[in-house]
């Protein structure tokens, strides 16, 4: 079970910014920017390489949540979205997540 699944199950604490039945958004515990959120699907998918066709709506939903939060947080004219894939490219947690970063 990933650390993010434990967060989703409320077994370990986090600062939850948004939650619906498929996605949770938390503050990154070690922020690399003034705003640093993690948009995490509740389905535990290890890496982007493990995506299946059936996940396409879920991935699209992650982008729509990012768009909504950027607008809600007034950072929609200056933010960055990123995924790290595999450890060589700095993926620490093997449960896919989108980083939303902004210096605003
Ligand atoms: P990545 O390197 O793309 O796998 O990013 C994992 C991110 O998860 C890092 O930016 C960590 O700071 C963050 N992180 C790890 N554990 C926690 C936690 N318990 N709560 C919030 N963020 C976490």
CA of 91 to the centre of ligand 1 (A): 9
Q: Which atom of ligand 1 is nearest to the CA of 30?
A: 12
> Given a cut of 90, is residue 86 above it in pLDDT?
no
Mean of the pLDDT values across residues 30-36?
97
Q: Is 82 helix (H, G, I), strand (E, B) or coil?
A: strand
Which band of pLDDT confidence, cut at 50, 70 and 90, is reported for residue 77? very high
Q: Which residue has the higher pLDDT, 26 or 104?
A: 26
Q: Which atom of ligand 1 is nearest to the CA of 90?
A: 2
pLDDT at 91: 87
97 is catalytic: yes
Report CA torsion sign: 43, 47, 52, 53.
positive
Test site for ligand 1: of 13, 93, 95, 100, most ligand atoms within 8 A of the Cβ: 93
Q: Which of 36, 95, 97, 99 is catalytic?
A: 97
pLDDT at 72: 98
Q: Is 40 helix (H, G, I), strand (E, B) or coil?
A: strand
pLDDT at 8: 98
pLDDT at 87: 76
Mean of the pLDDT values across residues 70-82?
97
């Amino acid at each position: 079970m990933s650390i993010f699944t434990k967060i989703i199950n409320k077994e370990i604490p986090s600062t939850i910014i948004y939650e619906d039945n498929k996605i949770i958004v938390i503050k990154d515990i070690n922020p690399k920017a003034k705003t640093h959120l993690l948009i995490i699907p509740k389905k535990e998918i290890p890496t982007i390489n493990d995506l299946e066709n059936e996940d396409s709506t879920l991935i699209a939903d992650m982008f729509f949540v990012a768009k909504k939060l950027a607008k809600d947080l007034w950072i929609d004219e200056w933010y960055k979205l990123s995924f790290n894939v595999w450890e060589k490219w700095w993926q620490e947690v093997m449960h896919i997540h989108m980083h939303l970063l902004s210096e605003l």
